[in-house]
């Protein structure tokens, strides 16, 4: 058992805001920038994740054509506030995520939509349970 597993970050661990931040910052060339009184995460200057409101959810890039299907399939997990309806973003409720692997997959997908091609060529997703 690794130190991460002993600390409660193993399979079955419910992700929290610190996990979102850690996974986002583990991605190549990611920087955390405070904007609109909340943390935002950017790669090559392009935003790919925000932690709005009370940090019980986070927002990621999601093509509008896919967003409706995603929300319809898992409305307890994904949603869009009315003021963001015209955007290419979706919010995910942390409490509804299955585990750290699902969180990593969501964060990585959004990062890949914003990252320049030169970063995507050699990209390998981080271990969601690494400290």
Determine if the pTM surpasses 0.75.
yes
| CA–CA dist 117, 15 (Å, integer) | 29
- Measuring CA to CA, which residue among 23, 50, 47, 20 is closest to residue 126? 23
Signed CA dihedral, 83, 86, 101, 72: sign only = positive
Residue 33 pLDDT grade (very low, low, confident, very high; cuts 50, 70, 90): very high
Q: What is the pLDDT of residues 9-20, one digit of tens each?
A: 555 578 999 999
**pLDDT > 50? residue 124:** yes
Is 85 or 53 the better-scoring residue by pLDDT? 85
Assign residue 65 a region: left if phi > 0, alpha if psi is -120 to 50, beta otherwise? alpha
| CA–CA dist 125, 29 (Å, integer) | 13
3-state class (DSSP) for residue 60: strand
Q: What percentage of the chain exceeds 90 in pLDDT? A: 71
**pLDDT > 60? residue 47:** yes
In this prediction, residue 45 carries a pLDDT of 94
β-partners of residue 112 are none
Q: What are the φ/ψ torsions at residue 51 (nearest 5 degrees)?
A: -120, 80
3-state class (DSSP) for residue 31: strand
């Amino acid at each position: 058992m690794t130190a991460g597993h002993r600390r409660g970050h193993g399979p079955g661990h419910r992700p929290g805001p610190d996990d979102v931040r850690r996974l986002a910052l583990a991605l190549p060339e990611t920087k955390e920038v405070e904007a609109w009184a909340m943390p935002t995460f950017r790669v090559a200057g392009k935003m790919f994740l925000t932690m709005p409101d009370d940090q019980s959810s986070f927002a990621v890039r999601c093509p509008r054509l896919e967003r409706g299907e995603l929300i319809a399939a898992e409305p307890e997990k994904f949603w869009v506030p009315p003021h963001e309806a015209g955007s290419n973003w979706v919010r995910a409720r942390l409490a509804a995520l299955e585990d750290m692997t699902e969180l990593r997959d969501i964060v990585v997908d959004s990062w890949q939509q914003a990252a320049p091609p030169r970063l995507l060529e050699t990209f390998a997703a981080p271990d969601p349970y690494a400290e």
